[in-house]
Structure 1
Amino acid sequence: MIVTRREAILGGVAGATLTATPALSATSLPSKRPAVGARRFTSRAVEREIARVSAKIGDPKLRWMFANCYPNTLDTTVRLTTVDGAPDAFVITGDIPCLWLRDSSAQMTPYLHLAREDAPLRQVFHGLIARQARSILIDPYANAFMEDPTAKTDLSWSLSDKTDMKPGVAERKWEIDSLCYPMRLAHGYWQATRDRAPFDARWAEAARLSIATFRVQQRKDGPGPYSFLRKSDRNIETMPLDGYGNPSRPVGLIHCGFRPSDDACLYPFLIPSNLFAVTALRELAVVAQGARGDAALAQDATALADEVARALAEHGRMRLRDGSEVWAYEVDGFGNAIFMDDANVPSLSGLGYLGCVPANDPLWQRTQAAAWSPANPYFFRGKACEGIGGPHVGLRQIWPMSLIVRGLSSDDPATIRACLKTLRDTDAGTGFMHETFDQDDPAQFTRSWFAWANGLFGELIVHVANTRPALLEGTL
């Protein structure tokens, strides 16, 4: 197995005792879920959803994988307690016992449509929205946080970082999407439940700080307060030029230090994340107005979204060697741009899934097609399958996340079916998704406990069951 810098806790699902569920006990595929008493949180609505969707899946292995993966966040990563009498949900990313704003939001997204019918599940959402707000107020530039807000980081790779590390911060890599994902989660929860309870004054304060941070990182008046340096033999772990990043020209786009992969940007304007910021800010405005009647917050979010959208229209595109116009991956405002894609979302190929572009938008369709081609230096094709990776783990390493997002973004039955079959056949017999696997040998993989990928796979299966159930009939 390949080991990345995220060296902690690779192995089985938290060492949990495994037991077969009744639905699978008669087969050769025993459940990989923790025993009922060892699960961190159980939702009756989620259990019903597992049964409902499983009944639609004809392929035994795919059904087994769905039942393992879909509840993985609740089974293994949620720590639900209280703070000042209110729910607090600390959702770890899996094999690293810290909360990533991005991962925790994405991990809970597959359960949003069930929250209205399950009051205990709503408490988890209340607790996570509150925890994210408190975390943002600790430091809006941080991407990951400790469970104890007074504790110093214990992540080995963060101990000597040269940046303004605060108590409660696990890692301080400035990533636009770290602030976008809580906005997206809040909007998804509001749309699903119309429950105003989580959107209190503290939530609004964190939202205002998020907008203010985006504005500072437009860098119209200088580089701003954020810088980051790390001693490493990998250039993607640190930022150049004294930790402030490569040069840029202020054009209205938001600077980004690191990509959603936690890898440093080459050019400071990461286009997928800026597009995500536009969408997330508009979603924030909906929640601010609808849940709080806060017209000022809604107007502030909308104004910034409009400004960034105009800058994207002017500076966010490029032409490939064949002359086709696509969204760039990163630009610097001087006219320089690179085209690539990285499997971590937001990605160029994930813009349709996130709702940043219409699924039938010609510009995005061209961009996605290029990302799934040799025009993308991180598109890999091997004996096992083809897919998108990224610099984080290295060449030849395909991320299941890229296949899942492709399936979620496609309206072509053949493409969706191919993604499902590949995902079924590249789990190395574990019943779970991984961070990456080798293009020729899926038995060589990273991260055996990666809850975001597991939940995203479950989200795909639920989506297919609801929209194209015929694709799940029979064996793939």
Structure 2
Amino acid sequence: MALYTGFVVFSVLAGLATGANCPNYSSYSMQAHAPLSNGSYRLGYMRPDPACRTFNLSDVESTIVSMASSIFDPDLYRLFLNAFPNTLDTAIRWKGVAADNADEELTFVITGDIDAMWLRDSANQMQSYRSLLKASSDGNSLASLYRGVINLQARYLLESPYCNSFQPPVESGISPATNGAAADDTVTPPYNTAQVFECKYELDSLAAFLEVSADYFQATGDTGFFGRFKWLDALQAVLDTAMVMKTPTYSPNGTVLDSPYKFTRMTTRSTETLANDGLGSPVAGNTGLIRSAFRPSDDSTLLQLFIPANMMFSHYLEQTAKIVDALKSKARSGLGTQMHTFAADVRSAILRHGVVADPNAISRYGSRSVYAYEVDGFGSSIIMDDANIPSLLSAPFFGFTTVNDPIYRSTRAAILSGGSNSQGAAQYNTNPYYMHGPVISAVGGPHQGPGMAWPMASIVRIMTTDDDNEIVGQLKSIISSTDGLGLIHESISTFNQSKWTRQWFSWANGLFGQMILDLNIRKPKLLQRSYQP
């Protein structure tokens, strides 16, 4: 039996609520179910019965059927079949309408094994199906799910814009979940535990609202939706929060400024709280960068000017400004121009303060310039990467740059260095969280610690390269390391595939499906080969 260690402090695990005889997926997904795949890895069939799936979408089912003729390897196809529909199968916890407006759709999406809705996860869970999204007024459509997520995220941001994870809406009738880890948190500004599951301020959470909004608009052209309900108000809350989080630690005369956000937690893990009594590490003024107290892993930043989140925020702010431009008279005068300028300023700040010299880059990559993971504006920087998106590795995936950007290429080489060369000699590893081993080699992070690689990082690696050999190698490692479950885990020991965390991690599963659909367009021949040992 594999070791399940992820998020043990949370007391509520979600099950499927569509029928009395439906199993709790958290338990159901802990063992492989028949029929097993026909390949050497004998992967389980992990979808719930149709009556127990939380949302059925014919376009997804049709896509799964059609991909059977595109994916030749039986184990690769089984993994796609299990992973791609995982959010729809298991994580649409509730769908309905607002109590005060029957036209306002709401969708409560859980991460998987935690009965709460993360802004980041829910936006990315929806993005798994972006290629199938089209305009529709049908309440049982993918477009309706998207609108429900956007509307509910807007409500959350208006309630608590510094928070990252939220409780079920009162209309759902679902009881709030208990977060034992947050019981003793001291947070400024305070929040209501009946509405908020956890209040870690993460810049990428604000960017996630922009992301899901931009994705919906680009796919549907449904401008009118954004002029209704509370979207414009929530957008203003995002802008106001980001702007105030540019506040530095010190004033020009040296006095310590009041921080808009503080967080402390009683914990034995340093990544679960902020230094300096909740202030975090000092940040210089006039950088143009936005602070982030926590990373997308929900781990605290070491230096608060977190570059990947600034990248993501800048890109999606620019994309969302196009929605405001299209709204014209419905939006506040000058708002679109303000957003375009803000996005450009953050991008310039990244290039000015977030590009640093890797002391080992000149001999290995031909360039000393790399994107830093975090900086403080005083001259300190951290060169590393973490598996969670946004990451430096994923910068082309979410649109900030391209795979041909020379600085990105140098950064990518640094992120993925490690292990040994063909002669067996050890190589210098710039990224302390690149995990190397016989089971899987990929970026990990402090959230699960040294030795635990994240398949999510392998997926992102595939989506940000055109190298066939690199793609094939990563696919082989992903297929062979699921411990027979045929699901994408959060993390896996690089030396023992039976030691892993979180088999019910809907975002990672959906991302795998998204990657396979991308390969079917970019590299269809790679799906027609064998991945058997």
Q: TM-score, normalised by structure 1?
A: 0.95
Contact kept? 2:384, 2:430, Cα under 8 Å: yes
| Residues 1:160 and 2:196 aligned together | no
Distance across 2 between alignment mates of 1:424 and 1:260: 25
1:18-67 deviation digits (Å, cap 9, x = unpaired): 9879999xx96553101000011011111111112232001101100100
Q: CA deviation at 1:153?
A: 5.8
Distance across 2 between alignment mates of 1:134 and 1:231: 29
Q: CA deviation at 1:15?
A: 4.4
Q: CA deviation at 1:310?
A: 2.0
Contact kept? 2:272, 2:300, Cα under 8 Å: yes
Q: CA deviation at 1:165?
A: 2.3
Distance across 2 between alignment mates of 1:418 and 1:350: 18
| Residues 1:314 and 2:335 aligned together | no
- Structure 1 match to 2:21: none
| Residues 1:407 and 2:462 aligned together | yes
| Residues 1:80 and 2:135 aligned together | no
The 3-state SS of whatever aligns with 1:209 is helix
Farther off after superposition, 11-20 or 270-279: 11-20
Contact kept? 1:218, 1:253, Cα under 8 Å: yes
Distance across 2 between alignment mates of 1:19 and 1:192: 36
Residues 101 and 204 of structure 1: CA distance in aligned 2, closer, same or farther (over 3 Å)? same
- Structure 2 match to 1:202: 230
Distance across 1 between alignment mates of 2:180 and 2:69: 44
Contact kept? 1:77, 1:92, Cα under 8 Å: yes
Contact kept? 2:135, 2:222, Cα under 8 Å: no
Q: CA deviation at 1:314?
A: 1.4
Contact kept? 2:164, 2:198, Cα under 8 Å: yes
Distance across 2 between alignment mates of 1:444 and 1:414: 27
Farther off after superposition, 252-261 or 214-223: 214-223
Distance across 2 between alignment mates of 1:131 and 1:471: 39
Distance across 2 between alignment mates of 1:127 and 1:160: 32
Q: CA deviation at 1:297?
A: 2.5
Q: CA deviation at 1:115?
A: 2.0
Distance across 1 between alignment mates of 2:374 and 2:78: 39
Q: CA deviation at 1:441?
A: 0.9
- Structure 2 match to 1:61: 75
Task: Give the counterpart letter for 2:235 in structure 1.
Answer: A
Matches within 5 A, 1:87-106: 87-106=105-124
Contact kept? 1:19, 1:33, Cα under 8 Å: no
Q: What residue ranges of structure 1 are gaps of 5+ in the alignment? A: none
Residues 301 and 35 of structure 1: CA distance in aligned 2, closer, same or farther (over 3 Å)? same
Distance across 1 between alignment mates of 2:14 and 2:147: 30
Task: Give the counterpart letter for 1:370 in structure 2.
Answer: A
Contact kept? 1:16, 1:38, Cα under 8 Å: no
Distance across 2 between alignment mates of 1:310 and 1:60: 47
Task: Give the counterpart letter for 1:107 in structure 2.
Answer: Q
Contact kept? 2:37, 2:75, Cα under 8 Å: no
Residues 21 and 190 of structure 1: CA distance in aligned 2, closer, same or farther (over 3 Å)? farther
Distance across 2 between alignment mates of 1:109 and 1:247: 35
| Residues 1:462 and 2:517 aligned together | yes
- Structure 2 match to 1:272: 308
- Structure 2 match to 1:285: 321
- Structure 1 match to 2:416: 372
The 3-state SS of whatever aligns with 2:300 is coil
Residues 162 and 203 of structure 1: CA distance in aligned 2, closer, same or farther (over 3 Å)? same
Matches within 5 A, 1:49-448: 49-78=63-92, 79-83=94-98, 84-85=101-102, 86-116=104-134, 119=138, 120-148=141-169, 154-163=178-187, 164-166=190-192, 167-199=194-226, 200-219=228-247, 222-250=257-285, 251-291=287-327, 294=331, 296-322=334-360, 323=362, 324-373=368-417, 374-448=429-503
Farther off after superposition, 451-460 or 223-232: 223-232
Contact kept? 2:113, 2:505, Cα under 8 Å: yes
Farther off after superposition, 36-45 or 3-12: 3-12
Distance across 2 between alignment mates of 1:292 and 1:23: 53
Distance across 1 between alignment mates of 2:270 and 2:408: 30
Q: CA deviation at 1:290?
A: 2.4
Distance across 2 between alignment mates of 1:332 and 1:30: 47
Q: CA deviation at 1:197?
A: 4.7
Farther off after superposition, 369-378 or 150-159: 150-159
Contact kept? 1:216, 1:224, Cα under 8 Å: no
Distance across 1 between alignment mates of 2:229 and 2:89: 31
Residues 439 and 317 of structure 1: CA distance in aligned 2, closer, same or farther (over 3 Å)? same
Contact kept? 2:42, 2:484, Cα under 8 Å: no
| Residues 1:36 and 2:50 aligned together | yes
Distance across 1 between alignment mates of 2:176 and 2:273: 20
Contact kept? 1:90, 1:131, Cα under 8 Å: yes
Please identify which structure carries the higher helix content: 1
Task: Give the counterpart letter for 1:306 in structure 2.
Answer: A
Contact kept? 2:108, 2:169, Cα under 8 Å: no
Contact kept? 2:37, 2:43, Cα under 8 Å: no
Contact kept? 2:271, 2:299, Cα under 8 Å: yes
The 3-state SS of whatever aligns with 1:198 is helix
The 3-state SS of whatever aligns with 2:435 is strand
Q: CA deviation at 1:352?
A: 1.0
Distance across 2 between alignment mates of 1:22 and 1:288: 50
Contact kept? 1:13, 1:448, Cα under 8 Å: no
The 3-state SS of whatever aligns with 1:321 is coil
Farther off after superposition, 217-226 or 390-399: 217-226
Q: TM-score, normalised by structure 2?
A: 0.85
The 3-state SS of whatever aligns with 1:318 is strand
Contact kept? 1:14, 1:76, Cα under 8 Å: no
Q: CA deviation at 1:81?
A: 1.6
| Number of equivalences | 474
Contact kept? 2:119, 2:208, Cα under 8 Å: yes
Q: CA deviation at 1:385?
A: 2.5
Contact kept? 1:438, 1:444, Cα under 8 Å: yes
Task: Give the counterpart letter for 2:261 in structure 1.
Answer: Y
- Structure 1 match to 2:421: none
Distance across 2 between alignment mates of 1:398 and 1:10: 26
Residues 253 and 56 of structure 1: CA distance in aligned 2, closer, same or farther (over 3 Å)? same
- Structure 2 match to 1:449: 504
Farther off after superposition, 460-469 or 2-11: 2-11
Task: Give the counterpart letter for 1:272 in structure 2.
Answer: P
Farther off after superposition, 30-39 or 437-446: 30-39
